Structure 1
Amino acid sequence: MNHPCASSRSLLSQILNRYVLVCMILIKESAIAATAAGNETDLQALIHFKSRIVEDPFNIMSSWNDSIHHCNWIGITCNFSNGRVMDLSLEQLRLGGTLTPFIGNLTFLNTIKLLNNSFHGEFPQEVGRLLYLQNLNFSYNNFGGSIPSNLSHCTKLEVLAAGANNLTGVIPTWIGNLSSLSRISFGLNNLIGSIPQEVGLLSSLAYLVLYGNYLSGSVPSSIYNKSSLYYFTFTQNHLHGNLPADVGITLPNIQVFAGAVNNLTGSVPASLLNASKLEILDFSLNGLTGTLPKNLGVLNRLTRLSFEHNRLGTGKTDDLNFLDSLVNCTGLEVLRLGVNNFGGVLPKSIANFSSQMHTFALNSNGIHGNIPVGIGRIPSSLGNLSVLIKIFLEENNFEGSIPSSLGNCQNLLVLSLYSNKLSGTIPPEVIGLSSLAIYLDVSNNALSGTLPAEVGKLQNLGELVLSENNFSGIIPSSLGRCISLEKLHLEGNSFDGNIPQTLKNLRGLLDIDLSRNNLSGKIPEFLGEFTELKHLNLSYNNFEGEIPKNGIFKNATSLSLYGNNKLCGGVPELNFPACTVKKASLARRLLAPKVVIPIVCALVSLLILSCFLKLLSIVKRSKKKTPTSTTERGLGLEMSYSEINKCTGGFSQDNLIGSGSFGSVYRGTLSGDESSVAVKVLNLQQRGASKSFIDECQVLRSVRHRNLLKIITAISGVDHQGNDFKALVFEYMPNGSLEDWLHPIRNLQFQKKALTFMQRLNIAIDVACALEYLHHFCETPIVHCDIKPSNVLLDSDMVAHVGDFGLATFLFEESRELSTQPVMSANLRGSIGYIPPEYGMGGKPSTVGDIYSYGILLLEIFTGKRPTDEAFEGGSGIQQFVAMALSNNVMDIVDPSLVCEQDFDGESEESECEEKAIRRKNEIEGTAKGLIEECFVSLMQIGMSCSANAPGERMPITVQPVIPPLSGEGGFRCSVKPASRGALHLRTQETQVFTQTKLHSTTSTEMALNTSCSKAILGTHVPSSVPNASNTPNFFFTTNDKKAFNFGFPRLVQNKGLFPPHAVPSKTMVDLDNLVLQTPEEQPKEEAKIINVKFQMHRNCKFGEQFLVVGSDPMFGSWNPAKAIPMAWSEGHVWTAEMAVPAGKFQYKIILKRRNGDIMWQPGPDRLVQTWEAMNRITVCEDWENSKLQTVTDDDEEVSNTSEEAELGQTDKDSTMESEVADLAENLDCSEENQNSNASTVMKSTL
């Protein structure tokens, strides 16, 4: 029997357990309900976010739909445990609209990244409800208003990046309460007031960017004492005060320290020598005085040193002693000390400056003495200045002669020596320095002698200024080869003779000044044909005769002819006397019997003779019973009309391949060997068809190359009806044209196929080889004039052959050109979309015109878009389409069939391809420097460089000497020079099959690769200087398939650890199977030495306008691309650029100045950039962004460490790279015959 107490305890226990169970169930259901409610709240907030989006060019918001959970929407990341939205990242998608206040309901958010979009309006105050927020980045948008005050509640915030917007107001003091902040970026806004002292109280602050605002007052001492700072720039504000004497001690970790374009005074603190990590030191355009510390060389990490436009120096002889120590700065790239008070002489030690230095400016000082001959010298050591691209030594007191050793600076773009005391002649090595592309200015010196004929080598030069010297003799006719000239100033010399007729080739000239010389003869009529000419000064010479009345001669305000007393006529505004002609006497002479009678007799005889010949032709044709034909001499196999008619099935429509501008092409089968041919039958009713036939015959009889369409014969005769008949017979190309593959028509064999990446790359190389042969290896250079996809034909092995030479023309030497042989007709040559701009302005066919067409073709190959695509409206084109995406979104413009390509097989259905393209883009988006994207970026850059609007800016296709075979080794030696920036190298040479390939470099490092397969490894050339690897070789891999590819400075990776990267032992044998070439993901590019910043064009861009823009980039300073025009006043943060970009709004402050320093225009707070009509040149565009070429950008989430990211074997990307290279190698054709054994191609692309 159970005890009553025990029974009661058992019952109580059961009740208690059931109560606990019920409570647990209720708690769980409550939690589930709360989570469900939270998820629903997040979903509604995101729906509201989507509803405010009005611009979505990539259709990102289409993925935000009910078919998938909102945690899987693009840009959304949820917490794994509770399913709440924790990350909203929609960077660089060009989204436009306003932000919804409902963003404050995403209460679990810790990251918001809206970088580089087009959002506008005020940033919602509701962001203050996001108490978990750690990273907020909305840089490069159009947000206005003040910094949201409710951000003060986000106490966990670590990153606050709001640069490049339109924010106004002051920097709030409550920012000092956000104790976790480590990165602040407010650059390029309209902030006013002072910098709060509280900013310096942030214990974790490491990155502070305040440049490009209207801040005033002084920099708080608390910031100067913030030892954790490594990046601090406050350039381009209205700040004043001194740099603290101990600033180098209180900022021991500072790497970037920039405060240019302010009102700072005082001296440069010697304590800066303690900041041993300094890389960029820039305080140009201030009022600093005193001298620079003599031991600046202890800052051996310096890459940029700029103190231009200050009051530094005393004018004494020891002012420049500090330059001696800078030889220790082995990475120094930019040295700008112009417009100061430095005296003394240039020390000889400058010849031993960093081999990476590309900008050297000491202009507008009091420096005297000679220019050291060490400049331009190429010593055997690394201490040389051979990579200099800009030399500014103007407005000093240099004397003596210009050293001829400057001619060894083979990369020089700018040479400015004006306003010195230089004498002697100008060395031919300098005046013939073909790399000069921006300007050469030696005006206001005492130079004498004649102008060397080598001036004709300056074919890329934009400005030539030789005024105010003592030059004499005639103007050399070779000057007419400088086809890129826009400014020619020879005034104030003693030139005599006539203006050379060859100058008629300089159709791009904007400004000509030949005044105050001894020139004579008549004023050439061709000067009136220069449509771009804005200013012409021929005053105070000895010109005579009638003044032309066309072109610029109709505008008296743009013309100066004073001091030429023998001139007459012209427009009335010029006030010259009328030209007198004895009309009566002339009429009597013309009507004299001894003149009239012979003319009448000759005309009658000519009429009788023509009638007789016409009658004879009709009689002969009537007697013909069968059609006849003749074969053009020099074109091989003879064929008759009957044979052609038979082999094409009577020109059956079933055999019709296609139709062109001058006729139709049929497929035929020869009766002898059953081989297929393509027969091009000319439509002689079409105007110009006969001339096209003659031109094509002239070209084809003189060329032979593996990448040119092989002609079998040409036929000229009559058909069965007695009508004239002309045809060309070519080798048949079974894979059609490149047009068929890029833009397939339905029901054709190419509709379901797509070219693989390797096929497109090989086609691009084949076309380049063909052009190189036409331009450089024919006895008379040939310009094709019509490079486009339909003229690129593919054989059974997918090898490209360039055809259709109906518009081609020969380029004759200058002497021949001036005789009776014309270069071209007046007709516009080429196809719409591929015609270079200069042809439309009357320019003659040229090799650079073909290069333009090739660049368009290259962009079309990899984007899949025609240059005449409907998307390119409103003045834009394929170049602008590519440029807008080149920096960060290149995968968005790549042909979708390439993006979805799996292992480069090219086999995907259209619907599948679109899905794969979206997935592939999303995968690549997070890896901005992935191999595939880098490859496409390189190819697009080459296409952009080739298709530059200005002929002088286009990448040339030039020739290097053939590589001689190695004796006794079965291979051949590659003697490699460091390649030009952005160059793509292809070398071809006929060789025997061999089993070993030798690699040689300029550093004496040698490698031998054992390989039994004759396959080349392909990659993109990214020349750069690898840190701590000055002896890293620049490799060409060349194998017996006659192809070689330059990898620039590769990282050598091998599975068996034979040797570490950048430490390749001499004469090491490496098995090819264990060797992989890897370009580090963030390997420094040599372009960064030339263009320290790179911009991306965005919406609302109107192309075609041109102005002169002088802007300021606070970190990298002056920027000079191929056609820039640096001024004498240029300093570390003011740059001058000439480029073809859109009109609109520019995110960098822009200042327009004259050479004397007068400000012509600068923007107000709204940043609206207006047209500078006076120069009628350059541009500006809305929403430009600083690209990844910056080492550290103000809007980065965190500092990128290039060397760490590129560390050997750190990620799966290394293995991906290995497989990609292996795939590329496997796709090479190892057995193709090379018919052009004497050719090697170098495609040089300078941005």
Structure 2
Amino acid sequence: MPCGRFLPSARVLALVSLSGELPKALFNSSSLIAICLQENKFFGSIPSVTATSPSVKHLHLGGNSLSGTIPASLGNFSSLLDLHLTRNKLVGSIPESIGYLPTLSLLNFNLNNLSGLVPPSLFNMSSLTALAMGNNSLNGRLPSHIGYTLPKIKILILSSNKFDGPIPASLLNAFHMQWLYLGGNRLTGPVPFFGSLTNLEELDLQYNMLDAGDWGFVSSLSNCSRLTKLYLSGNNFQGELPSSIGNLSVLWLRDNKISGPIPPVMGNLKNLNQFIPPTIGNLKSLVVLAGAQNRFSGIIPDAIGNLVQLADLKLDANNLSGRIPASIGRCTQLQILNLAHNALNGSIPRSILKISSLSQEFDLSHNYLSGAIPEEISNLINLNKLSISNNMLSGNIPSTLGQCVLLEYLKMQSNLFTGSIPQSFAELVGIKELDISRNNLSGKIPEFFTSLNYLHYLNLSFNNFDGVVPTGGVFSNASADTSCYNHTRMQAQAHWQQLNKNMKNIAFDDIVKVTDMFSSTNLIGSGSFGKVYKGGMSVHKDQVAIKIFNLNIYGAHRSFLAECEALRNARHRNIVKIITLCSSVDPTGADFKAIVFPYMLNGNLDMWLNQRAHQHSQRKILTLSQRINVALDLANAMDYLHNQCVSPLMHCDLKPSNILLDHEMVAYVSDFGLARFPRTKPSTHKDSSATLAGLKGSIGYIPPELNNSSFHEFHDIYAEYGMSQDISTKGDAYSFGVLLLEMMTGCRPTDEKFSNGTSLHDFVDRAFPKNINEKTRYPIPEPEKPEPEPEKSEPEKPEP
């Protein structure tokens, strides 16, 4: 670039640690050709340009701490060729005057805090070859003519903003395009056929709301012979991958809903070094294989062992089954191996435990693995994180595990381990988090835990330990997260697992402080088992919602456990997330339990649908588009809970008041206090969750046993279903249907007008034409007083 070397009559002072405010005189000089002050420590605002026509052609101010808005007077630099303002703290909108600079070729506003609509003049700059405005908060739709009005564009970076709408088809005419980055926005619709952009090298469409259509765009990309990176993760792609996918060289597809087998033609990708996901063949140069969080099915082929250069293997959160191939042991360069959240079975191959290069992560959690942990586990001497939780592993914990002295995170909970805690665990001097809860371990809790200086989370709960809880160390540190509760002869007060590592664990006093001593002004809701307050944590910029359980109510403690169990492994953009937990005691010594969630600025869906029930609040109206988007969000969440979790999860209480809306009207499913997992084995005892508080769910949203039934006539039927232990995903599906009807009509299923033998379903049915009756579950009632039809003469019979 011009500022990379000395230019006559130029101010080139990059990377020399200059600080202070930019001098105004510098921007009004009549002799300077270039001002290159990037990568310094300048702060304050960009000076205004008062000179009529300065001679500056190159203005580079990136990598400083400049703030304020971009002055419109920069449009006075009529000879400017390139403008770099990247990596500053600039705010506000982009001045329209920038778009009228006649010779500007390169414009870089990346990594600022710019907002608002992009002025139309900017997308009409025929001289631009590079336009970069990524990582801001710009919004609006991309103009339909953008491919025609930027005829010279080679680099277009608009990623990580808030652009919505479809990708303009005119971009297919930007024949010089080399880099096109549109990821991290809200773009919708099908992916265009980019095959006409033969110079395309990098294409980023990830984390939008795009759909794949019939996957025809993949075939078109085979014309892009220079394409080296294709990012499609985090969209709404569904169905099976086409065979044409094998013509690409690099592909990222995580966080979609792709299903079916992996096409065998992917084995043709011999030059691949980063790919999601492959069919293993000759990919000897493959380094990264990351296909997490999709719906890939089938087995992991033995040929995966041919990937001898593989360093990163991530296939977690899919539907893979069968055994873990022992051939993975030949991948001696592996540093990360993550196969969690699948349906893999069998034992842990001994050969994998001989890969001494495994250093960052080894995660086999949430599968159906069985058998004992092989003694060869001692070979993983460089491993930092080991997780084998939520399997069916059994036997004693091998003492050789203590030789993995670099372990910082060890998760072994929810298995069938027996015996005592190995004394060799005393050698894990760097351990930070250790969870061996929910097993069949016994004996005494070792004293050496008190001398592990870095240990801040220890969970020994739900085992058969006896004796005295040690004192000191992690057991006496109030900021530590320790759980030693057993149903047997020992109980120790503790905090629950801290789910957000960036947030300090909280106690009762913290809750009192942030809620202003449970002030009524901070009360934002109440439910069957407690109340919800809002507050602000000092370590958390945004406000939080704190759900405090009233443990004096029967079922509240079980509800707390159910919500923790349901949400501890839920990872979906439309399911509310736990920030942290508090399991403590109040000043009287009574148990105190609370869950901290993100605060949702737009409350819950019930507040928007039922205005009369919330007359004290400002009237809120959902547009049709917002209702559709909320419905899609909820459908995605329920699909995740029912079909994508290793073990399906039933919410059991889906209703508008349990749907939260954030500041962008994105919907989140909340309140999992009645959630249940399916029973995998017949139970000989009564399920306590079935009698949690009488009714399972809410009246009006629980499916009745009879068709065309009003809520008031068949109250006992609703209650019978609610008390049933045979809960299935069909119950959630029915509740979701009722919720959709309520969103479209604004009528609750329990409104008084449905007390005369009719129902919400009948109310909706009447809105349809009569011929729809044959295809609906609930028949359309006949009019109360039908008019007699006039007599008609018999039609003439047609001649044969």
CA shift, 1:77, in A, is: 6.0
In 2, are the aligned partners of 1:75 and 1:90 still within 8 Å (CA)?
no
Amino acid at match of 1:125: S
Alpha-carbon separation, structure 2, partners of 1:432 and 1:322: 37
Task: Kindly provide the CA deviation profile for residues 1008-1052 of structure 1, in whole angstroms up to 9, marking residues without a partner as x.
Answer: xxxxxxxxxxxxxxxxxxxxxxxxxxxxxxxxxxxxxxxxxxxxx
1:416 aligns with 2:345: no
Which residue does 1:288 correspond to in 2?
Answer: 210
Where 1:391 maps in the other structure, the secondary structure is: strand
Matches within 5 A, 1:175-190: 175-190=98-113
Matches within 5 A, 1:119-134: 119-126=42-49, 128=51, 131-134=54-57
Matches within 5 A, 1:923-938: none
Q: 1:236 aligns with which of 147, 157, 160?
A: 160
Where 1:151 maps in the other structure, the secondary structure is: helix
Alpha-carbon separation, structure 2, partners of 1:494 and 1:366: 28
Change (3 A) 1:245 1:386: farther
Change (3 A) 1:285 1:513: same
CA shift, 1:566, in A, is: 4.1
Alpha-carbon separation, structure 1, partners of 2:477 and 2:165: 52
Which residue does 1:458 correspond to in 2?
Answer: 380
Alpha-carbon separation, structure 1, partners of 2:266 and 2:345: 22
Q: 1:306 aligns with which of 218, 226, 231?
A: 231
CA shift, 1:1163, in A, is: 14
Amino acid at match of 1:393: L
TM-score w.r.t. length of structure 2: 0.57
Alpha-carbon separation, structure 2, partners of 1:460 and 1:535: 21
- Max Rg structure: 1
Which residue does 1:428 correspond to in 2?
Answer: 350
RMSD: 3.3
TM-score w.r.t. length of structure 1: 0.37
Matches within 5 A, 1:206-285: 206-225=129-148, 226-247=150-171, 249-270=172-193, 272-285=194-207
Amino acid at match of 1:168: V
CA shift, 1:549, in A, is: 0.8
Which residue does 1:356 correspond to in 2?
Answer: 273
CA shift, 1:499, in A, is: 1.5
In 2, are the aligned partners of 1:392 and 1:415 still within 8 Å (CA)?
yes
Which residue does 2:438 correspond to in 1?
Answer: 516
Q: 1:90 aligns with which of 10, 13, 33?
A: 13
Alpha-carbon separation, structure 2, partners of 1:189 and 1:129: 28
Matches within 5 A, 1:290-689: 290-291=212-213, 292=215, 293-295=217-219, 296-314=221-239, 318-326=240-248, 329=249, 332=250, 335-353=251-269, 354-357=271-274, 358-377=287-306, 385-555=307-477, 558-563=481-486, 565-567=488-490, 573=493
Task: Kindly provide the CA deviation profile for residues 672-709 of structure 1, in whole angstroms up to 9, marking residues without a partner as x.
Answer: xxxxxxxxxxxxxxxxxxxxxxxxxxxxxxxxxxxxxx
Change (3 A) 1:191 1:105: closer
CA shift, 1:257, in A, is: 1.2
CA shift, 1:574, in A, is: 7.1
Structure with the bigger RCO (C-alpha within 8 Å, sep 6+) is 1
Matches within 5 A, 1:946-985: none
Where 2:429 maps in the other structure, the secondary structure is: coil
Matches within 5 A, 1:619-1018: none
Alpha-carbon separation, structure 2, partners of 1:534 and 1:1163: 35
Provide structure 2 residue ranges, at least 5 long, that are not aligned to the other structure: 275-286, 496-538, 541-569, 574-597, 600-639, 646-661, 665-800
Report the identity percentage.
35
1:170 aligns with 2:86: no
Alpha-carbon separation, structure 1, partners of 2:7 and 2:152: 33
In 2, are the aligned partners of 1:339 and 1:1129 still within 8 Å (CA)?
no
Matches within 5 A, 1:1029-1044: none
Alpha-carbon separation, structure 2, partners of 1:449 and 1:349: 36
Where 2:203 maps in the other structure, the secondary structure is: strand
Alpha-carbon separation, structure 1, partners of 2:266 and 2:444: 49
CA shift, 1:130, in A, is: 5.8
Where 2:247 maps in the other structure, the secondary structure is: helix
Task: Kindly provide the CA deviation profile for residues 251-301 of structure 1, in whole angstroms up to 9, marking residues without a partner as x.
Answer: 22222211111110001112x122222222212211111344342444343
In 2, are the aligned partners of 1:386 and 1:409 still within 8 Å (CA)?
yes
Which residue does 1:1182 correspond to in 2?
Answer: none
In 1, are the aligned partners of 2:147 and 2:170 still within 8 Å (CA)?
no
Change (3 A) 1:455 1:129: farther
Where 2:304 maps in the other structure, the secondary structure is: coil
CA shift, 1:406, in A, is: 2.1
Provide structure 1 residue ranges, at least 5 long, that are not aligned to the other structure: 1-73, 80-85, 378-384, 576-1105, 1108-1126, 1131-1150, 1165-1247
In 2, are the aligned partners of 1:320 and 1:345 still within 8 Å (CA)?
no
In 1, are the aligned partners of 2:305 and 2:329 still within 8 Å (CA)?
yes
Task: Kindly provide the CA deviation profile for residues 397-417 of structure 1, in whole angstroms up to 9, marking residues without a partner as x.
Answer: 111111122223333222221
In 2, are the aligned partners of 1:346 and 1:372 still within 8 Å (CA)?
no
Where 2:369 maps in the other structure, the secondary structure is: strand
In 2, are the aligned partners of 1:351 and 1:374 still within 8 Å (CA)?
no
In 1, are the aligned partners of 2:12 and 2:35 still within 8 Å (CA)?
yes
Q: Which moved more, 1:92-101 or 1:555-564?
A: 555-564
Amino acid at match of 1:312: F
CA shift, 1:564, in A, is: 5.3
Amino acid at match of 1:356: N
Where 1:374 maps in the other structure, the secondary structure is: helix
Alpha-carbon separation, structure 2, partners of 1:1128 and 1:408: 32
Alpha-carbon separation, structure 1, partners of 2:266 and 2:186: 31
Change (3 A) 1:457 1:274: farther
Change (3 A) 1:288 1:184: same
Aligned length: 490
In 1, are the aligned partners of 2:481 and 2:494 still within 8 Å (CA)?
no
Task: Kindly provide the CA deviation profile for residues 529-576 of structure 1, in whole angstroms up to 9, marking residues without a partner as x.
Answer: 1222222111222222222112112257722222252448xx6x479x
Which residue does 2:501 correspond to in 1?
Answer: none
Alpha-carbon separation, structure 2, partners of 1:170 and 1:128: 23
In 1, are the aligned partners of 2:29 and 2:54 still within 8 Å (CA)?
no
In 1, are the aligned partners of 2:243 and 2:265 still within 8 Å (CA)?
no
Where 1:168 maps in the other structure, the secondary structure is: strand
Amino acid at match of 2:201: E
Change (3 A) 1:399 1:389: same
Change (3 A) 1:105 1:541: closer
CA shift, 1:519, in A, is: 1.8
Where 1:152 maps in the other structure, the secondary structure is: helix
Task: Kindly provide the CA deviation profile for residues 633-691 of structure 1, in whole angstroms up to 9, marking residues without a partner as x.
Answer: xxxxxxxxxxxxxxxxxxxxxxxxxxxxxxxxxxxxxxxxxxxxxxxxxxxxxxxxxxx
Alpha-carbon separation, structure 2, partners of 1:227 and 1:391: 41
Amino acid at match of 2:324: I
Alpha-carbon separation, structure 2, partners of 1:127 and 1:431: 69
